[in-house]
Every structure is written in C-alpha cells, then in structure tokens.
Structure 1
Amino acid sequence: MSDSRTVHILFENEAWLPPLLEGLEAEGLSHQLHHVHHGSLEATEVPEPGIYLNRMSPSSHTRGHLESVDLMSETLAWLEGHGRRVINGSRAFALEVSKFRQDMVLQRYGIRTPRTVMTVGTDQLLAAARTFEGRFITKHNQGGKGLGIQLFDSVEQLEDHVNEPGYDAGPKGQMLIQQYIEPAESFITRVELVGDRFLFAMQSATSGGFELCPADACQIPPAAPDVCPADGGAKFQVSPLTADDSLVQSYLRLMKHEGLDLAGIEFVEDAEGNRYTYDINGTTNYNSALGREVGVDGMLEVARLITRELKSSGSTGAMRRAAI
C-alpha cells in the first residue's frame, strides 16, 4: 500500500531506472514501480495516494511497446483528473511525443528553430521537401534517441529512400522535414534543467550520426537490442554554457509556463553564431561521468525536486498547476 509520500514511477524502459532509484533512496523516498504497457483504467477509480513521476519515452515502440505512449496519455489524464500531482504531466507529455508541437512552443517563446514541416503520406513528404532550399533532414514526429533521422542532399535522394522496402514512417506515420543546420563545430549542445534550476550543459559529438542518447545505459556496444548505440568516451563533454545565458533563461521560462518539470533541451550553433533549438526531451537521462565532472547528480536533483513538491503540497500528492 502506498501513502501520500510514495513516489509512483510510471515507466517503460527498466534499463533507465537504477540512477533514479539511487537518487530516491538518497532522499529517503519510498517508491512503487508501474510498468506502463498493457493495462486498464476505470474513470471513477481513485488513484493511489502519492506523487507520480512520468518516465515514459517516445521511443518505447522500439522496444516492443507500441501501445505504451497512448496508454500513458490516458493514464496522465486519469491521474490529473483525480488531482494527483504528476512530475512532467499531460502537458509536458504532449510535447514529449510531438516534435511538431515542440517547434511551435519554442517559437512562442522567441526561440529560434529550424524550418519544420509535418507531413502524413509519402506524396506529401516529397512535396514538402521540394519547398526546401539546401540540405534537409527527416525525422519521426514521435521519436527518441535520434533514431530514424536521415540527412538528404536532394529530393531525389529522399524519393529513393521512401521507396526502399525498409522505409519507416514512425509509429504514427507522421514525418517531419526540417532545415538542416550545419554545426559550426562538430557537436550539438544539450541543456539539462530540473524545475527552475540549470544543472549543466553538455556537448555531444555529431561525427558518428544523430543517435546521441546520453544515458549511462546507452554507453554500451551497439549490438545490444534494447538501448541506443551511443559509444561513450569523448562523444560527450561538458559545455561552457552557464545558467545566465539568455537561451537558458528562455528555456526556463518555457518550462515554467508549459508544465515541464524536467527537460533536456538541444540546440545547434551555425557558423554565423545563430543557435537553433530543435528538441525537448522530457524523459531526460543523465551521463554520470559528466555529472561527476561538474559535481551534479542529475537523478538526485530529480529526487530533490520530488521532495520539494511533497513539502509544498503538504505530502498529499495534490496537483500543483503550472503557472499561466
């Protein structure tokens, strides 16, 4: 049985759990695990007391959990409908599973983004590609870990690609075409934020492609079937970006007003010094080696955020609405 201080972890990928559980233990927080894949919901049933943490990844379909994202969306609506506090609740999750919505929200806060068009259907994809000048990339609207991202020099290359037998339009059939931003240097920057706090920023080398998962569970050989094939080592290093940077402050404002409690937000800088933001990762993971270098344990900071939330709600797990 749970009580009002229990942390309910809604998850799909158990490989990402150990650092989080260590953080909760360090804070003296009890937890219950809820694997969200198959299940049932009854609207009038009252959820267990406590606070809920959403750890559902939009890449769940790559691990055989095609139904998990949709079930999580309904679960979050049910929890919030009964007044339960969810860390990264329904508003955050709606952004997590739609890169098109991310693009719109980023622009709303004056944050520069690459030109982005969402399409459904290969004819529409090719038609949209013809409106782009220069190189472009395609990606799944619901994606994760950088999987499925392809760079094209021409519409003809894209046409050949979509006609291949193994062409994959993603779990929803929604494809984005996005302006390709050539990095001034061969890395992108990821900014890690928890609550209203900047933790650190990291640079991810792009020379090996677009699959840039920073989690410790990803730092293993790519032959493993259920985690992303990042190779660790020098692929990730600390960025000199600081909390008072204007872009970081814009990210924090966005999080405050859009219901995001946790996020890893990525941008790329071109040769002219323009910074283009293109991804908001709500189910963010942390690279422990970089964390030790900067003296920050990401998952411990998540656990501390939960502790603060429990104190502010009087340990009831009641929902605190994001500022409007």
Structure 2
Amino acid sequence: MRTETVPTIYVIHENDDWMVPLRSAFKTIGVNFVEWHFGNGDTFDFSSIPPQGVFYNRMSASSHTRSHRYAAEHTHAVLEWLELNQRRVVNNSRALALETAVGSYDNAKHETSKSKITKQAQSIFGGDKPFITKHNRSGKGLGVHLFKDVKDLESYLDSDAITVTDEERPVDGVLLLQEYITAPKPEINRAEFINGELTYIVTIDTSNGFELCPADQCQIRTKPMFVIRKNDQFLEDEQVLATKIKKFLIENGIEIAGVEYIRDSQTNELLVYDVNTNTNYNPSAEKVAGEANMMKIAKFLKSELDLLSVEDVEAD
C-alpha cells in the first residue's frame, strides 16, 4: 500500500464509486490524501511501524457483493495494527465489528439452520405475527424480506431462492429475525452524525419498499424520496433519541454514522434498527437543504490531521 513520509489522511475502502464525492471535497479544500483500496490484494508488514496520519475507515458490510470477500476481515486486521501503534483512527475496529455484524446490537435473534430459524420465529413471533429476516453482515438491503407469518417463512426456506442465489445466502451463515414495526406513514428516518454530532435527519419515503439507495437516480419520482430536516425541525422525542445515540456512538468508537430509526404506530416510540458506519449522502436532497456532509467529513479529517501535525511539532 502507498504511504507518505509526512502525516497524511488515509482512507480505507473498497468501492471507488462511493469515493467520488469525498475526493471532490478533499480537492476543493486542497487536502492531500491516500486511498487504501482493499479490493486490490495489497499486502502489509504488521511487524513494521505504520505511517503517521489520520486513518478513516470506510469499509462496507456489503463489500463481499463486489467480489471483495475478505476486505472487511483484512480491514479489521489493519485497524488493530494501527490502534496497537496508537494511530488516529476514525471509525475504529469496534465500529467495524458492529458494521459487519448487525446481531452485535443484540436487538435480534440469529440462527443458521432452517429448523432453528422456523422454531425461533415460532417462539418469538407466534404463528401469525409478521417479521423480517436480514443478513448479519448486511448492506444494500441484503436478505431483507417481510414475512406475514411462520408458514410464509417456511415456504421461502423451501424454495430455490435461498439455495441458488448467492446474495440470498448470509456470507457469515447468520440470518437475523427482527420484529416488523408498522409506522404511521411509509417512511423511516436516518440521523447523520459527523464527529459525534448530529448534522441533520433525512426522512426517507419507503412506499416503494426497502431499497434506500442514496444515489441521485433514486429520486426520479414526483415526490422526493429523501427530505432533509434540520435542528429546528426535529421533534422533541427525536432530540432525546439523538442524545442517546450520541452516547452509544461515543462508547463504540463510531465518529461518522447514519443511524436509522422508525416510529412504532402502536406505541408511538422511536425505535433504532440500524447503524451504518459507511454512510453515503443524497446530493439532490443536500442541495435543496443547503447541506454538504462529505465536505464536513473532509474538513473534520483535515482538522484531525492539523491537530496531529501540531502535536508532532510540540513533541519535537
């Protein structure tokens, strides 16, 4: 992997498409950076001392769907090497562990065999309650299916879909069962955090299903799919939830994340169901709202690099 002799920003990733807006932001503010692309098969000498700099982990839980099967595992090893050598890591190894194992949040039951899956579903949801399956290592809505009851799940497990389609099989062999929450409106919310601070909440129209693609082409419809809300538009219970989320992120080494939650139509509670540490933003929605989170990330990383450089000067 390429390194620099002076403290530099290093971005760890495996998807060039998702790097485009961050590259543009770095260029705009005139910051040099190095990409460590973990889909290229490069090697590291873990007996060596890593370069000085700020290391931003943007590894994706869906990396295996882009033929980068072990990119996440390789990233975890590299992050531990960096942390062992006291390097500044943004979204550290604990953050990556949570990104690649949704079941770690302990909000879902997880099973592997067909008999255990149906047995657990029966014991948790009964015979007639709807529920969702999802992959433990997820991303892109992998393995997300809504079942109206256990018999519906049995039919799916008996079908060819889960046995012949690679993306239907959990890459780590773990399939999660999660309660299905009915919202008052067909929408979910995503709170975006940078440097541990809430930047905005985006409300996402889910009337067309679970696909929550952040790309521009997802908004080719009369009603915008993504609508950004700022501080003065947050509800009181959203502000309370944001405080709890911030505490959770700090405790788990997560500095940049998109946290998804939904309102339960039965209890009116806000329920968090996903934390995405490799967050992307919708440029069209940001343009309407006058926001630019990738620019905020670039400036945050630059400020961390500047702080690191000052510490080096003082040490000298």
Question: TM-score scaled to structure 2, two decimals?
Answer: 0.87
| Aligned residue number for residue 281 of structure 1 | 276
Question: TM-score scaled to structure 1, two decimals?
Answer: 0.85
| Aligned residue number for residue 65 of structure 2 | 62
Q: What is the alpha-carbon distance in structure 1 between the residues aligned to residue 108 and residue 268 of structure 2?
A: 20
Q: CA deviation at 1:19?
A: 0.7
Q: CA deviation at 1:248?
A: 0.9
Q: Higher helix fraction: Structure 1 or Structure 2?
A: 2
| Aligned residue number for residue 174 of structure 1 | 174
CA contact (8 A) 2:91 2:253 kept: yes
CA contact (8 A) 2:7 2:309 kept: no
Q: Does 1:245 align with 2:223?
A: no
User: Deviation per CA, 1:138-186, whole angstroms, max 9, x where unpaired?
Assistant: 0001100222200001111111111222202311011100000011100
Q: What is the alpha-carbon distance in structure 2 between the residues aligned to residue 35 and residue 205 of structure 1?
A: 33
- Among candidates 254, 264, 287, match of residue 248 of structure 2: 254
Letter in 2 for 1:62: T
**Percent identical across equivalent pairs?**
30
Q: Does 1:31 align with 2:33?
A: yes
How many residue pairs align between the two structures? 294
CA contact (8 A) 1:200 1:242 kept: no
Q: What is the alpha-carbon distance in structure 2 between the residues aligned to residue 192 and residue 209 of structure 1?
A: 21
Letter in 2 for 1:123: S
CA contact (8 A) 2:108 2:176 kept: yes
Distance 1:192 1:59, change over 3 A: same
Q: Does 1:312 align with 2:315?
A: no
Distance 1:175 1:282, change over 3 A: same
| Aligned residue number for residue 154 of structure 1 | 149
Q: Does 1:292 align with 2:292?
A: no
| Aligned residue number for residue 226 of structure 1 | none
Secondary structure class of the residue paired with 2:295: helix
Q: What is the alpha-carbon distance in structure 2 between the residues aligned to residue 156 and residue 21 of structure 1?
A: 48
| Aligned residue number for residue 236 of structure 1 | 226
Distance 1:242 1:256, change over 3 A: farther
| Aligned residue number for residue 165 of structure 2 | none
Q: What is the alpha-carbon distance in structure 2 between the residues aligned to residue 315 and residue 264 of structure 1?
A: 30
Unpaired runs of 5+ residues, structure 2, are 163-167
Unpaired runs of 5+ residues, structure 1, are 105-114, 221-229, 318-324
Secondary structure class of the residue paired with 2:284: helix
Question: Equivalent residues in 2 for 1:63-82 (5 A)?
Answer: 63-82=66-85
Distance 1:42 1:316, change over 3 A: farther
Q: What is the alpha-carbon distance in structure 1 between the residues aligned to residue 175 and residue 153 of structure 2?
A: 12
Letter in 2 for 1:74: A
Letter in 1 for 2:282: N
User: Deviation per CA, 1:110-157, whole angstroms, max 9, x where unpaired?
Assistant: xxxxx5211122222111111214110000011002222000011111
Letter in 1 for 2:148: D
Distance 1:95 1:316, change over 3 A: farther
Q: What is the alpha-carbon distance in structure 2 between the residues aligned to residue 191 and residue 294 of structure 1?
A: 15
Q: Does 1:265 align with 2:259?
A: yes
User: Deviation per CA, 1:35-64, whole angstroms, max 9, x where unpaired?
Assistant: 103233332122222211111110111111
| Aligned residue number for residue 45 of structure 1 | 48
Secondary structure class of the residue paired with 1:173: coil
Q: What is the alpha-carbon distance in structure 2 between the residues aligned to residue 70 and residue 84 of structure 1?
A: 19
Q: CA deviation at 1:242?
A: 6.5
CA contact (8 A) 2:260 2:275 kept: yes
| Aligned residue number for residue 92 of structure 2 | 89
Q: Find the structure with the greater CA-based Rg.
A: 2
Q: What is the alpha-carbon distance in structure 1 between the residues aligned to residue 184 and residue 310 of structure 2?
A: 48
CA contact (8 A) 1:204 1:236 kept: yes
Q: What is the alpha-carbon distance in structure 2 between the residues aligned to residue 276 and residue 42 of structure 1?
A: 43
Q: Over aligned residue pairs, what C-alpha RMSD do you find? A: 1.9
Relative contact order, CA 8 A, sep 6+: which one is greater?
1
Q: CA deviation at 1:293?
A: 2.4
